[in-house]
Structure 1
Amino acid sequence: MGYTIQWLRSLFFVGQMYLMMAVLAVYFTPWAIFDRRGAYAGVRTYCRYVRWSAKWMCGLHSEVRGTVPTEEVLIAAKHQSFFDIIIIVSVVPKPKFIMKASLRRAPILGWYAKRIGCVAVDRGKRAEAIRQMIQEVSHGDAPAGQLIIYPQGTRVAPEAKRPYKIGTAVLYRETGQDCVPAATNVGVFWPRTGIYRKPGLAVVEFLDPIRPGLDNDSFMARLENEIETRSIALMAEAGFDARLSQDQDDRSA
């Protein structure tokens, strides 16, 4: 019975979340058309609303730990579900993403993403995607801000493992900026797909910056170690044992 009630609460939450996206998009669009600050205000207001509504509708609280990046930096974040995007955008002043090119055609999201300077990359051959990414970042008209990339390239469930892709190292080298790793446990509560939202405390934690100057191998090894180690700790704090889940997957393979 408890699961059914929580599922229904989650269903209502998800429905109103997308409805509110449309409402706020209409409200902020006139400002956003003429001033990029309106686009930032719109996406930030929406993300803060989602965090607030998740808390009282689903019992899903959220918290940001560490120092929120406010300078022009590269943020390399663990990506488990839509909610980690929501949390990061709710606190970072000028977010812009490396995103799938297909999202440019998404209603509302596509236009606002373009307005805040997100970089759309076609998925395909890795070398071509990296070249496109560097060209867009270096020569596009995107404003200065916090460039957010997901090193594993997609959402990864808490129990899954995916390799870290070299594109993050290329951006780190080409931009010459600090890279701020970000760990999370949001996938324990908000899945990659589905309706059910589990009550608890979802956390995104910004870790110490990685300064420019490391070679690709050293940078990638450090980045993966820091993000995965801290994400595992955050998931354990939420009652999820990522190591145990992976061991079970290995035995059943």
Structure 2
Amino acid sequence: MLLVRSLLFNLAFYLMTAAIMIAGLPTLASRRGVLWTARTWARATLVLLRAICGIRVEFRGLAHIPPGGVLVAAKHQSALETIALVAVLDNFAYILKRELLWLPLFGWFLSRSEMVAIDRSKGSRALVLMNEEAARAMRDGRRLIIFPEGTRRPAGAAPAYKFGVAHLYDRLGVPCLPVALNTGLFWPRNRLARHPGTAIIEFLPPIPPGLPRAAFFQEVQDRIEAASDALLPPGFPRPAPQGAARGPATAG
């Protein structure tokens, strides 16, 4: 039954996504309209997950979300959080790979919503361009979402944060909102199965601007990893952290 329900969800999800994108074509006239369409899509996805797969998403710490521009640094275990964060963060922007803008139809919405797209082929220059685009997003009071590890990692895997998040924090001069989660237990990466249960996405107290980059980099890792570990079942393996990697982090 688990596999059947997962297949049914995937079918319903892609049909619903196509329907919302087609119906939402008129909203391409404005960024605000596209963001409204994205939040509608995200909330509809969460309804499908609960109805078909028995996965409920619980948001904690919403009161910690500050007003105005903020850097949102989230743990990345699953595709689920890339969708769910859209449902609760207004005026959001993702840092993502430029290649996603080339996708038919979906890429149109990404481009019109003014996401921060990174060309990884530019190497260290990509970090400079990311900072420039992110600064523009902050001037618009946006919630800039970044996955500091750059790619999805299994629940309980040793962390592999990239130092790009510290460069961004230092450049922007805004609070950083850490986000812990356990979504990989229910929507594992690169797997079809969707496991029933309550996935938790927890917004932690913001880290104020002004910390030295190295101090911030350690602080954001410590907060996210400790809170994410606390959301895992008792006895779940918790490997020791690995060293930091260099380069920009994107949605992946």
> Same fold per TM (> 0.5)?
yes
1:178 maps onto 2:175 in alignment: yes
8 Å Cα contact 1:59-1:200 kept in structure 2: yes
Partner Cα distance (2:41, 2:58) in 1: 16
8 Å Cα contact 1:188-1:240 kept in structure 2: no
8 Å Cα contact 2:69-2:138 kept in structure 1: no
Match of 1:20 among 16, 19, 22: 16
1:38 maps onto 2:33 in alignment: yes
Letter in 2 for 1:6: L
* Residues 201, 139 of structure 1: alpha-carbon distance in 2 compared, 3 angstrom cutoff: closer
1:52 maps onto 2:47 in alignment: yes
Aligned residues: 238
1:234 maps onto 2:219 in alignment: no
Match of 2:194 among 193, 197, 207: 197
- Deviation of the 1:137 alpha carbon: 2.1
8 Å Cα contact 1:185-1:235 kept in structure 2: yes
Partner Cα distance (2:21, 2:189) in 1: 24
Per-residue deviation, residues 8-65 of structure 1 (Å, max 9, x unmatched):
11111011101111100111220x2223221111110111011111001011111110
- Secondary structure, aligned partner of 1:242: coil
- Deviation of the 1:142 alpha carbon: 8.7
Letter in 2 for 1:20: M
* Higher relative contact order structure (alpha carbons within 8 Å, sequence separation ≥ 6): 2
- Deviation of the 1:139 alpha carbon: 4.9
8 Å Cα contact 1:51-1:87 kept in structure 2: yes
- Deviation of the 1:86 alpha carbon: 1.2
Partner Cα distance (2:100, 2:237) in 1: 30
Show the counterpart of 2:82: 85
Structure 2: gaps of 5 or more residues? 241-252
8 Å Cα contact 1:97-1:119 kept in structure 2: yes
Partner Cα distance (1:23, 1:79) in 2: 27
* Residues 140, 61 of structure 1: alpha-carbon distance in 2 compared, 3 angstrom cutoff: closer
8 Å Cα contact 2:21-2:106 kept in structure 1: no
Per-residue deviation, residues 98-135 of structure 1 (Å, max 9, x unmatched):
10111111233322222222111122465222112112
Deviates more, 1:147-156 or 1:126-135: 126-135
Structure 1: gaps of 5 or more residues? 248-253
Percent identity of equivalent pairs: 37
Letter in 2 for 1:118: M
8 Å Cα contact 1:158-1:242 kept in structure 2: no
Letter in 2 for 1:227: I
Letter in 1 for 2:148: P
Partner Cα distance (1:106, 1:141) in 2: 26
Show the counterpart of 2:216: 219
| TM-score (norm. length: structure 2) | 0.88
* Residues 71, 127 of structure 1: alpha-carbon distance in 2 compared, 3 angstrom cutoff: same
| TM-score (norm. length: structure 1) | 0.88
- Aligned CA RMSD, in angstroms, stands at 1.9
8 Å Cα contact 1:116-1:143 kept in structure 2: no
Letter in 1 for 2:107: G
Per-residue deviation, residues 173-217 of structure 1 (Å, max 9, x unmatched):
111110000011000110111210000000111000000110011
